[in-house]
Amino acid sequence: MTDQNGKKRVNLRDVAKAADVSVATVSRVLNSPGAVTEKTRNRVQEVIDQLNFVPSAAARAINSGRTRFVGALVPTLDNAIFARFLAALERALAARQLSLVVATTSSDQAIEAEKAKGLLDIGAEGLILSGITHSAELEALIEHTRVPTIATSYFDGTCNLPTIGYDNAAAAQIALGHLHDLGHRRIAVVHGPAQNNDRTQDRIRGLNAFGQGTELSWFQASIGLQGGVDAARSILSGGPMPEAILCLSDVLAMGLLFGLQGQGIDVPEDVSLMGIDDLPWSAVSVPPLSTVHLPVQRMGEQAASALADWVEHQNRPESALLHAHLVARSSTLKCVRGE
Amino acid sequence: MTDQNGKKRVNLRDVAKAADVSVATVSRVLNSPGAVTEKTRNRVQEVIDQLNFVPSAAARAINSGRTRFVGALVPTLDNAIFARFLAALERALAARQLSLVVATTSSDQAIEAEKAKGLLDIGAEGLILSGITHSAELEALIEHTRVPTIATSYFDGTCNLPTIGYDNAAAAQIALGHLHDLGHRRIAVVHGPAQNNDRTQDRIRGLNAFGQGTELSWFQASIGLQGGVDAARSILSGGPMPEAILCLSDVLAMGLLFGLQGQGIDVPEDVSLMGIDDLPWSAVSVPPLSTVHLPVQRMGEQAASALADWVEHQNRPESALLHAHLVARSSTLKCVRGE
DNA sequence: ATGAAAGCGCTAACAA
DNA sequence: TTGTTAGCGCTTTCAT
């Protein structure tokens, strides 16, 4: 291979020649230094440094079958929750000498399958997915290639794939439980598109199973901040004001907060507001947002170490449940009925 | 190479044998289909599909020198401005059959250099950097390997590297100009750590050059939202209230907004507030934030196409200046002096 | 402990 | 148009 400029890259043979050893020996000092005399090893290493030799990843991959990179498929980078997850994932992977190739799916299973195939085609040794619901093609692809794959943001001990994540239904129930404890019963629930999002579906399922005399009204918002803002309008124009609003994500809650404030509604005096995620801004908004903390950073770290271990030592990990917990701040207040 | 399971992957030879042609012919239908009879081509293609053959990226890379991926180095994923940029970049690269490997630098030049080297070692064909200030090692690395590299978020026609970005000094001046037009003179400027951030340095430089009777007081905030919140406290306790506050990023402005509101200060009645970036939330906050729109999505697209063209056709791109523009919303108000 | 040599899967001359 | 064959840079037996 020649560089784009023209002078060829230093290769094993060059090093071997310069160090007056065989290519095998050079290869050894690279891969199993213990199998080489210290004297030889030092000499070779010196030449390597001097010649600025970097083994070709491609050639190495072709022989060892290892490419040292994995792929992650997330719905979007435009939501801090995924960005935070990926940041932690990338950091933890890098510590294990693995690179991360990121692909976004726009929550579209067809795109997801296509990009996953693309990642595998270019040699990804493992895959990180979001959620456990995927297209038949993707499932077949994983089944067929047996590529180490971990589903995240979702916990399901019975899933074919190892899952590392939280119990979304429980997280939603924690939120609703908090509102319930404060005495709220008539609660508006705002969620994003549930169609292709099993995390959202699960949260909805969790709320429906909650019971305890709660009276839930449902609002589906479009994705992102603006969806929350619009939902505020829907809620305000859609009959009596609920006692509390539960958003199934912090981004939505932020939109709601702004939407309500824009209409002169005070949170939490006029209505309690809750989110799920615990993004950085939730701690500092005015009022600070009560929410359910989802341990996405830990999820990133655990997914990284589990996938690394699977890829390197064929240890298929067990699913891991990460605990979500309530973060009660001041956007929720005890319910005072009949003013 | 055998798969992690054990059955070996289908290779060119298998296909050739099954289709009863030579490996060269199979290679041709893959790479220059025009050079093969339609009849042969179809037959081979059929076998390829049937055997589910996927060419080995590593083997291809070793011969062609192409790996079809590039690396991007950003300070963090934890700021929407970079996440948005990367999202656009990834999308545009994918459209050109290039994958994106993301690495974060924490705004540390040593980490940046190290990760850049790692990316090159694994075969990155091109690099996207943030800003134009980098460690000597990284500059030497780029110089030496001649790897196509584009600096973003910064425009500098005289830079060694092609830059694709906006004029940070001008962007800051647009913001200050807006405040000036509204009659504000005593203005607090809040910026993040400038040490390793040439974008911030440039914005500061731009403001210093503005003149026109403005009286700037400077506040350095720590990174992120919390930095903005803290800065609000500093400003409030640090002497007379300024007429306006100019934040050198929207994240900081958001922190400021919350910090001020938390102290009972009304924006924009008590003080005008401005940001730079134009993140999604800026349009919907209460009040909506006046800011300077930085075209990061377009930057992602342009960087992708420029880098792709460079990598594929050795066309080194010219630097491109993307225009930032004022987005006046309601967080800024005409200055009323002496109440 | 070291070396020689046989591939890994593919591309690209060169021949036919 | 198609086939033969020589590598690409490395790892890995198998000898020595």
Q: What is the pLDDT of residues A276-322, one digit of tens each?
A: 999 999 999 999 999 999 999 999 999 999 999 999 888 999 999 99
* Closest nucleotide C1' to the C-alpha of B64: C11
Q: Which residue is nearest to nucleotide D12 (CA to C1')?
A: A24
Which pLDDT value is given to residue A144?
A: 83
**For residues A29-54, average pLDDT:** 91
The C-alpha of B281 sits at a distance from chain A's nearest C-alpha, in angstroms, of: 7
The pLDDT score that the predictor gives to residue A153 is 97
Specify the nucleotide whose C1' lies closest to residue B32 (CA): C11
Report the residue from A67, A69, A76 with minimal CB separation from B87: A76
B103: chain A residues, CB-CB within 8 Å = 90, 94, 99
Check whether B84 has a pLDDT greater than 70.
yes
Partners of residue A103 in chain B, C-beta under 8 Å: 90, 94, 99
pLDDT band for position A5 (cuts 50, 70, 90): very low
Calpha distance B152→A149 (Å, rounded) = 33
Q: What is the pLDDT of residue B198?
A: 95
Report pLDDT for B339.
46
Q: Note the CA–C1' distance, B22 to C16, in angstroms.
A: 14
Query: Minimal Cα–Cα distance from B196 to chain A, Å?
Result: 20
Smallest CA-to-CA distance from B225 within A55, A301, A289 is with A289
Q: How far is the CA of A143 from the C1' of C9 (A)?
A: 24
Mean pLDDT value across residues A173-199 = 96
Looking at beta carbons, which residues of chain A come within 8 Å of B76?
87
| Cα gap B244→B229, rounded to integer Å | 16
Which carries the bigger pLDDT value, residue B123 or residue A188? A188
CA-nearest residue to B3 within chain A is A65
Question: What residues of chain A lie within 8 A of the CB of B262, using their CB?
Answer: 284, 286
What is the sign, positive or negative, of the torsion defined by CA atoms of A239, A242, A246, A251? positive
pLDDT at B8: 65
Would you state the pLDDT for residue A261?
Answer: 95
Lowest mean pLDDT among A224-228, B294-298, B335-339: B335-339
3-state secondary structure chain A: CECCCCCECCCHHHHHHHHCCCHHHHHHHHHCHHHCCHHHHHHHHHHHHHHCCCCCHHHHHHHHCCCCEEEEEECCCCCHHHHHHHHHHHHHHHHCCCEEEEEECCCCHHHHHHHHHHHHHCCCCCEEEECCCCCHHHHHHHHHHCCCEEEECCCCCCCCCCEEECCHHHHHHHHHHHHHHCCCCEEEEEECCCCCCHHHHHHHHHHHCCCCCCEEEEEECCCCHHHHHHHHHHHHHCCCCCCEEEECCHHHHHHHHHHHHHCCCCCCCCCEEECCECCHHHHCCCCCCEEEECCHHHHHHHHHHHHHHHHHHCCCCCCEECCCEEECCCCCCCCCCCC
pLDDT exceeds cutoff 50 at B328 = yes
A58 CA – D9 C1', rounded, Å? 8
Residue A12 CB lies within 7 Å of the nucleic strand C: no
CA distance B128 to B303: 8
Q: Which bases on strand D have an atom closer than 7 Å to a protein beta carbon?
A: 1-5, 7-13
Instruction: Using an 8 Å CB-CB cutoff, list chain A residues near B68.
Output: 122
Question: Testing the interface with B: which of A105, A117, A144, A281 to mutate, by most B Cβ within 10 A?
Answer: A281
Q: Do A87 and B76 touch (CB under 8 A)?
A: yes
Mean pLDDT of B148-167: 97
Residue B201 Cβ under 7 A from any strand C atom: no
- Residue-level pLDDT at A71: 95
Mean pLDDT, chain A, whole residue set: 93
| Helix H or strand E segment including B293 | strand B291-293
- Name the residue with higher pLDDT: A144 or A152: A152
How close B212 comes to chain A (CA, Å)? 35
List, for residues B31-48, the tens digit of each pLDDT value: 889 999 999 999 999 999
**pLDDT digits over B255-277, tens only?**
999 999 999 999 999 999 999 99
From the CA of A206, how many Å to the nearest CA of chain B? 29
The pLDDT value recorded for residue B5 is: 45
pLDDT per position as a tens digit, B195-251: 989 999 999 999 999 989 999 999 999 999 999 999 999 999 988 999 999 999 999
Tell me the whole-structure pTM to 2 decimals: 0.91
Task: Give the whole-number percent of chain B exceeding pLDDT 90.
Answer: 82
Q: What is the pLDDT of residue B7?
A: 53
User: Mean pLDDT, to the nearest integer, of A161-178?
Assistant: 98
Q: Using the CA of A12, which nucleotide's C1' is the nearest one?
A: D9
What local confidence, expressed as pLDDT, does residue A4 receive?
43
Nearest of B132, B276, B78 to residue B190 by alpha carbon: B276
Give the pLDDT of residue A222.
Answer: 95
- Tens of pLDDT, residue by residue over A82-126, are 999 999 999 999 999 899 999 999 999 999 999 999 898 888 999
Identify, with chain letter, the residue nearest to nucleotide C7 (CA–C1'): A63
Whose CB is within 7 A of strand D?
Answer: A 1, 8-9, 11-13, 23-24, 27-28, 30-31, 53, 55-56, 59-60, 62-64; B 20-25, 28, 35-37, 39-41, 59, 62-63
Q: What is the pLDDT of residue A123?
A: 87
Answer whether B57 sits within 8 Å of A83, measured CB to CB: no
